[in-house]
A and B are shown apart, each in its own frame.
Chain A
């Protein structure tokens, strides 16, 4: 059986899948890949099922030695990946041989890259998922981010034993910018904000604070004030909720967000724009625009259609090349 040896861990490298569902009512966060679009494409490019465990790499990439011949893909952020010192392109998959060394030169665009390996990374599922939930110290690889010396097993597969490069066509690629307009729908306490506060929210720019992580993005900019204070009776929180706590500075709930909370929520980022946010770094700027449930669900279905198309394309290729 093949494996990946971690020589250097990088800034924050974790095993993720599409998340741990079904336990939110017990207070268990979903976790999972922050940019689920890039994550799924990474898996498709190596012939895996979309939810196969893969690595989420944050800004500074790890150094990894491949022990075994695999196909690997890197999608998402452009972090300057090289194999044995030679540049490899993002959003494509290549074959690597035993002993090959993967390094990263540094972040050029975006924040999170995904590294998939044909077969998928083998970790024990915890409560039905391979995602690492860092605060709970569970899932993924020993419930933590990778360290030097770790060895990750790879599930055996005969898929992907060909030497060409597979590249995602341009129309499927995401573009990462330092400024973005993030679309939202009304949050569950939207009515608790005056028109003046709502205008402030939609007409100003917010900077992503340094205190942002997989749990939430803290924003800095115009302070917001609901009519009756920021505290509400605790209720369920969904991914992308824009909470306004007592200090008036919004916080966007990301993958590791807690399941319930007692702050007002002015808005909720639409599903397809979570990926855009996931690729933004501290100090970058965002603004918000209002979308509707119908429109955001249409966009989500559109994204799914794209993933299905890619899945069909890659399935055909892997059918031809599997023994």
Chain B
């Protein structure tokens, strides 16, 4: 049962729905269920929505629907969340070249945590990370669930340019840079896969509510994947888990 939701205006054309106060898997699932229902029911006047850790922002056109009417419709939708689960959850596999030129800080992370490089790779790639939300830059995933064993503080001096696809650690978080940008994360590897390509039919690879799994790849595989990407033949592996049980 979803707890009492709070609805309040964020502006004269957006509403925030608050689902809770803490960063928690269950709360995120409720938010995803509401997103799913919004897509199914298509409330007239709703333009788009921005899910985040504990809230869902709904952007609407006040020429079509006013604040109070929209809140009433959202309350009706909420009733359905209580007896509703999204049909399936996706796990997106991201191939990663760890270390070397791709991950200049892998050894720092290992040393900081008194682990071997292999152990860091194993820990980092052995669990599924929930994509809580995307933001900060186009396609940047806020991931939950990294092991504390590999937590490492940010760099003292941020780098001016981190290549697109770089995978980093900052304290208890891990993430991927979808576009090249400055940043202070400890870079442990890189994926050849494009998380964001504005000219692709689906410009973004990741979405909130899905899970992400890092899969280590090695030299020969890297070349093969890069070639396939170049040819437009690379297919990212997406597993679907049914939520019916």
B151 at the interface (CB under 8 A from A): no
Beta-carbon nearest neighbor of B203 in chain A: A127
Range, interface on chain B: 35 or more
Chain B, 3-32, CB within 8 A of any chain A CB: 8-14, 16, 21, 23
Contact call B62/A301, Cβ cutoff below 8 A: yes
- Find residues 183-198 in chain B having any chain A CB closer than 8 Å to their own CB: 196, 198
Closest partner residue, chain B, to A188 (CB atom): B10
Q: A236-B14, A238-B57, A270-B12 are in contact. Are A25 and B63 (CB under 8 A)?
A: no
> A27 and B136: CB pair below 8 A?
yes
Q: Are A293 and B9 in contact (CB under 8 A)?
A: yes
A84 contacts the other chain (CB 8 A): no
Per-residue CB proximity of A25-55 to B under 8 Å, as 1/0? 1111100000000000000000000000000
Q: Choose among A28, A239, A261 the residue with the greatest number of B CB atoms under 10 Å from its CB.
A: A28
Segment of A16-24, A72-80, A151-159, A160-168 engaged in the interface with chain B: A16-24
How many A-B pairs with Cβ below 8 Å? 134
Other-chain contact of A233, B54, B56, B138 (Cβ < 8 Å): B54
- Which residues of chain B are near A297, meaning CB under 8 Å? 12, 62, 66-67
A contacts with B: majority SS: mixed
Task: Specify the chain B residue showing the minimal Cβ separation from A268.
Answer: B11
Binds A, one of B44-52, B72-80, B105-113, B225-233: B44-52
Please state if B54 and A25 are interface contacts (CB–CB under 8 Å): no
Tell me the complex Cα distance, A159–B179, Å: 42
Check A116 for interface membership: any CB of B closer than 8 A. Answer: no
B204 contact from A26, A188, A236, A259, Cβ within 8 A: A26
Chain B contacts of A301 at CB under 8 A? 62-63
- In the complex, whether A126 has a CB less than 8 A from a CB of chain B is yes
Complex contact A188–B8 (CB within 8 A): yes
Return chain A residues, CB-CB under 8 Å to B134: 25-27
Contacts of A26 in B (CB 8 A): 134, 138-139, 196, 203-204, 206-207
* A25–B57 CA distance with the chains assembled, in angstroms: 9
Which of A138, A235, A239, A258 has most chain B Cβ within 10 Å?
A: A235
Interface centre among B8, B12, B54, B142 (most CB of A within 10 A): B12
Task: Looking at the assembled complex, report how far the CB atom of A226 sits from the nearest CB atom of chain B, in whole angstroms.
Answer: 16
- On whether the beta carbons of B139 and A238 are closer than 8 Å, the reply is no
Shortest beta-carbon distance from B172 to chain A in Å? 14
Q: Are A234 and B52 in contact (CB under 8 A)?
A: yes
Q: Assess A25 versus B16: contact at CB under 8 Å? Given A185-B11, A268-B10.
A: no
Chain B residues, Cβ within 8 Å of A29: 138
- Interface centre among A233, A236, A239, A259, by most chain B C-beta atoms within 10 angstroms, is A236
* 26 contacting pairs across A/B (C-beta < 8 A): A21-B48, A25-B134, A25-B208, A26-B204, A26-B207, A27-B137, A29-B138, A126-B198, A127-B198, A136-B198, A233-B21, A234-B135, A236-B50, A236-B52, A236-B55, A238-B11, A259-B135, A260-B52, A268-B12, A269-B11, A270-B11, A271-B62, A293-B9, A293-B67, A294-B66, A297-B12
**A interface, CB within 8 angstroms of B:** 21-29, 126-127, 136, 138-139, 185-188, 233-241, 258-261, 265, 268-271, 293-294, 296-297, 300-301, 304
By Cβ-Cβ distance, the 10 closest A-B pairs, closest first, are A236-B57, A260-B135, A236-B50, A296-B12, A268-B11, A238-B11, A26-B204, A238-B14, A297-B62, A235-B52
